Homo-oligomer: A and B are copies of this chain.
Amino acid sequence: MLNYVHEIPTKLYFGEGQIRHLDEVLRPFGTRVLLTYGGGSIRKSGLYDTVMEILNKGGYTVTELSGIEPNPRIESVEKGVKLCKENNIDVILAVGGGSTIDCSKAIAAGVFYEGDDLWQMVATGHGVLKALPLVDILTLSATGSEYDGGGVITNLKTNEKIGNMYTFPAASICDPTYTFTVSKYQTAAGTADIMSHIFEGYFSRTEDSDLSDHIAEGVLKTAIKYLPVALENPEDYAARANLMAISSIACSGIPEYGKRGTGWPCHAIEHELSAYYDITHGVGLAILTPRWMRLILKKDPTCTWRFVRFAKNVWGLEGEDDNALALAGIEALEKFFKDSDIPMTLTELNIGEEHFEKMAAHANAGGYLKDSFVSMTNEDIVEILKACL
């Protein structure tokens, strides 16, 4: 069990109706609010009106930044920073999913960035000194951005999608009913993202960090139980609530405490896909994960024990032959994603192999994935990507 430091200052208000705390949460920071959101689904759902009513009643001055993209772009960060400076913003209120929150985190830090080119801050993490306070209202269970300090920003000009640490939300309002209107496609993709956050830490060489592993398996079992329920009945509160609860934990670092880092290989590769093709992050992860698993299992049989544990503890499978059991666990995962009706090949997303080598080289720059759970070469990454076609 390795050393770790646990520090998550975010206050979570979890459950139906917790928006009643919004005014008390914002008030201490000031009254000039930058309200950030995405493509307008919060207008359709009525959440926008609810939020504005609270803000108007509370005497807040609201500046809006809307249209934040699903893979949020550096241009939106730049726009937000400009708005904050022009309007002397006191606090950012992000209403949306991980993209809106990620973008808002970069804006919150970008306000204090002293350089000329915000992309330099995003690409390197240098110059992140402090940040405006950020409060969010979560509308999608997926990235866990409501309970971590990181954000991922895309530059479509340079085909780069890069994650860095900016700031933790001061508070996150997590009301599962706000996800009742999330489409089946986004529900499934979000759950795949949650599960991937677990896989990235779970498949590690550390054997003795039991609590982390139990929490990881608990998150996976909860996802497996409740995604089909949410797909069947989008307004099932228990299903939406459980998916929201695991979203926050999965990317918090907690399921990895005490474990050796892995470099998060599937995320590294998926960021390339999103940077080149602007695809839904969770779908990219769902496509990649079983292929990555099969490749590393084949490449390094000393990792079989982890897959056996995964098959037994997560899927409840049994069997004498370890390799067969390991493969059955991967099979079960792939079937689970397929049954949730998201595309499970890159071909379905009209992605061909033309950029695979460049992507592999960028994902593995500096031998980044050499020390992963199973050491990965550029050739391995290309092989995984080809298996996804």
By a beta-carbon cutoff of 8 Å, the part of chain A in contact with chain B is 1-7, 9, 11-18, 208-211, 213-215, 217-219, 221-222, 225-226, 237-238, 241-242, 245-246, 249, 257-258
Contact = CB atoms under 8 A, between A and B. Distances in A.
Nearest to A236: B208
Given A4-B15, A5-B13, A214 B210 contact: no
- List 10 tightest A-B contacts by C-beta distance, closest first: A214-B218, A3-B15, A208-B238, A6-B12, A1-B241, A7-B11, A210-B222, A211-B245, A4-B14, A211-B222
Nearest to A176: B1
Contact of A208 (B2, B12, B218, B242): B242
A211 B1 contact: no
A222 B209 CA distance: 9
Contacts of A4: 12, 14-15
A141 to B, nearest CB: 12
Contacts of A209: 242, 245
Nearest to A242: B210
Contacts of A238: 1, 208
B226 A219 contact: no
Nearest to A246: B211
Pick the most buried of A14, A17, A18: most chain B CB atoms within 10 A of its CB: A14
